[in-house]
């Protein structure tokens, strides 16, 4: 095999390998209408350098309220409640506090597999065109991967090493009865 062909194959394999190593948490569905209920599914694509994932924490962005997690067999759920930064209205009732972080823990997601961690909530009080960051912390034993970086105006989000999964808020859906 000639040197140039060998280098091309080697560089191609290195690119594939580095892409897999940099795989990050994402949302399955990346858009939601303002003033709607939304099922947020955070994908965890791998463990931490070969170690199993045993906890996943998701901090709710402001404007994603009344979050309810979907239980996962073999995992323990913890819901941390707190005050929202502002008061929201939900069906004529003022909502000032609720779940601000959901943690799935004491489970096992081997490095060779991926999984989805699901919660439902309401996207409210947010203008269309706004991106809501879901801050995700993935724990593998003593090691943590934090998916918490948010691109600044004009910054390429693909250049971030640990980008937070983003939900783009779209125009409210118009319901006809």
What CATH number did the domain enclosing 32 receive? Answer: 2.60.40.2230
* Other beta carbons less than 10 A from residue 155's beta carbon: 11
49 — pLDDT class (breaks 50, 70, 90): confident
Of 30, 94, 44, the C-alpha closest to 65 is: 94
> What's the pTM?
0.83
Q: 13 in a domain, yes or no?
A: no
Is residue 96 a part of any domain in this protein? yes
Q: Which two tokens stand for residue 145?
A: 């991967």
Range of the domain at 158: 24-170
Q: Can you tell me the distance from the alpha carbon of 13 to that of 95, in angstroms, rounded to the nearest whole number?
A: 52
Token pair for residue 161?
A: 């090493």
Q: What is the pLDDT of residue 8?
A: 35
Residues 92-112, mean pLDDT to the nearest whole number: 96
- Least confident range from 13-17, 62-66, 133-137, 162-166: namely 13-17
Inside any domain, residue 14: no
CB 76 within 8 Å of CB 107: yes
Do 165 and 56 contact (CB within 8 A), yes or no? no
The total number of structural domains that make up the chain? 1
Q: How far apart are CA 61 and CA 32, in angstroms?
A: 13
Would you say residue 2 lies in a domain? no
Inform me whether the pLDDT recorded for 131 exceeds 50. Answer: yes
Distance CA 83, CA 81 (A): 7
């Amino acid at each position: 095999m000639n040197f140039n062909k060998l280098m091309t194959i080697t560089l191609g394999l290195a690119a594939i390998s580095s892409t897999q190593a940099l795989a990050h948490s994402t949302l399955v569905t990346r858009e939601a209408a303002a003033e709607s209920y939304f099922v947020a599914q955070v994908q965890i694509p791998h463990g931490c350098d070969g170690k199993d994932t045993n906890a996943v924490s998701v901090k709710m962005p402001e404007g994603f309220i009344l979050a309810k997690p979907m239980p996962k067999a073999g995992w323990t759920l913890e819901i941390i409640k707190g005050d929202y930064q502002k008061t929201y209205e939900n069906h004529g009732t003022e909502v000032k506090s609720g779940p601000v972080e959901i943690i799935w823990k004491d489970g096992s997601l081997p490095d060779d597999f991926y999984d989805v961690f699901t919660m439902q909530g309401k996207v409210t009080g947010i203008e269309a065109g706004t991106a809501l960051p879901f801050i995700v912390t993935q724990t593998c034993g003593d090691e943590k991967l934090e998916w918490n970086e948010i691109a600044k105006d004009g910054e390429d989000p693909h250049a971030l090493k640990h980008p937070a999964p983003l939900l783009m808020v779209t125009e409210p859906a118009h319901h006809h009865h």
